[in-house]
Amino acid sequence: MSSLRSHDDTWDIATSVGSTAVMVAAARAGETGRENPLIRDPYAAILVAGAGTGFWETLLDQDVAAKIAEVDEDAAKIFEHMGSYQAVRTHFFDEYFAEAAKAGIRQIVILASGLDSRAYRLEWPAGSTVYEIDQPKVLEYKAETLAAHGAQPSAQRREVPIDLRQDWPKALRDAGFDDGQPTAWLAEGLLMYLPADAQDRLFELVTELSAPGSRIAAETAGVSAGERREEMRERFERFAAQFNMEQALNIQDLIYEDPDRADVAEWLGAHGWRAGGVHSLDEMRRLGRYVEIEHDDTRAFSTFVTAEKL
228 or 274: which leads in pLDDT: 274
The verdict on residue 169 lying in a domain is: yes
Structural domain count, the chain? 1
Burial 97-123 (b: 16+ CB within 10 A, else e): beebbeeebbbbbbbbbbbbbbbbbbe
Contacts of 132 (CB under 8 A, 6+ apart): 110, 113, 116, 119, 139, 157, 158, 159, 160
Amino acid symbol at 276? G
The verdict on residue 50 lying in a domain is: no
Residue 138, CB half-sphere, CA atoms under 13 Å: how many?
30
The verdict on residue 10 lying in a domain is: no
Average pLDDT over residues 72-79: 74
Tens digit of pLDDT for each residue in 117-149?
Answer: 999 999 999 999 999 999 999 999 999 999 999
Q: What is the CA radius of gyration of the chain?
A: 19
So what's the pLDDT on residue 51? 76
The verdict on residue 83 lying in a domain is: no
Least confidently predicted of 41-55, 135-149, 199-213: 41-55
Q: Tell me the C-alpha distance between 90 and 118, whole Å.
A: 10
What confidence category does residue 233 fall into, taking pLDDT thresholds of 50, 70 and 90?
low
**Are 69 and 291 contacting, i.e. CB atoms less than 8 angstroms apart?**
no
Extract long-range pairs of 144-149: CB within 8 Å, 24+ residues apart: 145/46, 145/47, 145/50, 146/43, 146/46, 146/47, 146/117, 146/120, 149/43, 149/46
10 to 69, 84, 135, 137: CA distances (angstroms): 35, 29, 8, 10
The verdict on residue 28 lying in a domain is: no
The verdict on residue 63 lying in a domain is: no
For residue 303, the enclosing domain spans: 102-309
Tens digit of pLDDT for each residue in 105-114?
Answer: 999 999 999 9
Tens digit of pLDDT for each residue in 243-298?
Answer: 555 445 556 666 777 778 999 999 999 999 999 999 999 999 999 999 887 666 67
- What is the number of H-type helices and E-type strands within the chain? 11, 7
Tens digit of pLDDT for each residue in 148-190?
Answer: 999 999 999 999 999 998 999 999 999 999 999 999 999 999 9
CATH classification of the domain holding 116: 3.40.50.150
So what's the pLDDT on residue 243? 59
DSSP state of 188: -
* Whole-prediction pTM: 0.89
The verdict on residue 167 lying in a domain is: yes
The verdict on residue 157 lying in a domain is: yes
